[in-house]
Amino acid sequence: MTNLAIDTTTMQPDYTAIKAKQQATWGAGNYGRIGVTLQITGEQLCETMDLRAGRSVLDVAAGNGNVTLAAARRFCRVTSTDYVDSLLRQSEQRALVEGMSIDYRLADAENLPFEDGRFDHVVSTFGVMFAPDQAKASAELARVCRSGGSIGMANWTPDGFIGHLFKTIGRYVPPPQGVNSPAAWGTREFIGRHFGAVAEKIDIQSRMFNFRYPSAAHWLDLFRTYYGPVHKAFAALPDEKQQSLAEDILSLVESFNVADDGSVLIPSEYLEIVITRK
């Protein structure tokens, strides 16, 4: 009789391949068109963290620079990083218009090119939560923050509007096997598990960002055109599936819409997190 060996080893996701696809996703469309509407979340995070002039701040997965610029407006010494060069260039243009000096670096959130304890504060708004290797990205945020410094984040929650948008897209274009949802970063359990051991204190507030658009159709048109995950999802589907996805997203928008004047006002929950480093 032939003995058949069964490999019960858990297959690890191919993070390199996943990140390459993600890079293409966030480079598609033009995230900056959506990102600029979220500026208030970066300003609010800086106020909650009580950032003081002269402090060193690292923005991880900074995108088009909302919290980067907010910190620089408070005269912090800011280093802004992302793995999509075109988004960094958008942020740089915004900084030039405002006459701000910011250090821009192309960098992977899971392998930051900085020494341990380099920064007073480490921040990310709706950015690092998309890193596929969540444990590694969490460890990197903690590693580069000095003892007594703080890590600040704004992360969409699973039960909020954007969390439901991810779920809707996932029914049509399944995420890579073995990779947890980005919305896990928007849960207290995740933050406690990944940062509890290095935290002196963890403060978490539930906040709402309000998407304000003329209509549901306008919201869908902008996100389908400019927001990488939605843009790529439609591009991956045949015409009939695209129509079905559009209908499901429009239904989702309407189910969260609280406006009564024909426009769209969607409160979308996110967690604002401030971790004081041991």
CB 120 within 8 A of CB 56: yes
What are the Cα distances from residue 200, in Å, to 18, 50, 197, 221, 277?
33, 17, 9, 44, 6
Q: What is the reported pLDDT for 17?
A: 85
Query: Which pLDDT band holds residue 11 (cuts at 50, 70, 90)?
Result: low
Backbone angles phi, psi at 135, to 5 degrees: -65, -40
| 278: number of Cβ within 10 Å | 11
For residue 23, is pLDDT > 80? no
15-157+176-210+269-277 folds as Rossmann fold (3.40.50)
Q: What is the reported pLDDT for 83?
A: 94
Cα gap 196→158, rounded to integer Å: 21
Q: What is the reported pLDDT for 261?
A: 97
76 Cβ neighbours under 8 A, 6+ residues apart: 51, 52, 53, 54, 55, 56, 57, 121
Give this prediction's pTM.
0.93
pLDDT tens-digit readout, 209-238: 999 999 999 999 999 999 999 999 999 999
Q: What is the reported pLDDT for 194?
A: 98
CB 138 within 8 A of CB 194: yes
Task: Say which residue, 189 or 1, is predicted with more confidence.
Answer: 189
Per the DSSP assignment, residues forming a β-bridge with 43 are none
| 189: number of Cβ within 10 Å | 8
Strands 56-59 and 119-125: parallel
Q: What is the reported pLDDT for 15?
A: 85
* Coil, strand or helix at 133: coil
pLDDT tens-digit readout, 129-140: 999 999 999 999
For residue 74, is pLDDT > 70? yes
Q: What is the reported pLDDT for 21?
A: 80
Q: What is the reported pLDDT for 80?
A: 98
At which residue do the structure tokens 């869908």 appear?
220
Most confident of 7-11, 130-134, 178-182: 130-134
Q: Where are the domains of the chain?
A: 15-157+176-210+269-277
Across all residues in the chain, what is the average pLDDT?
94
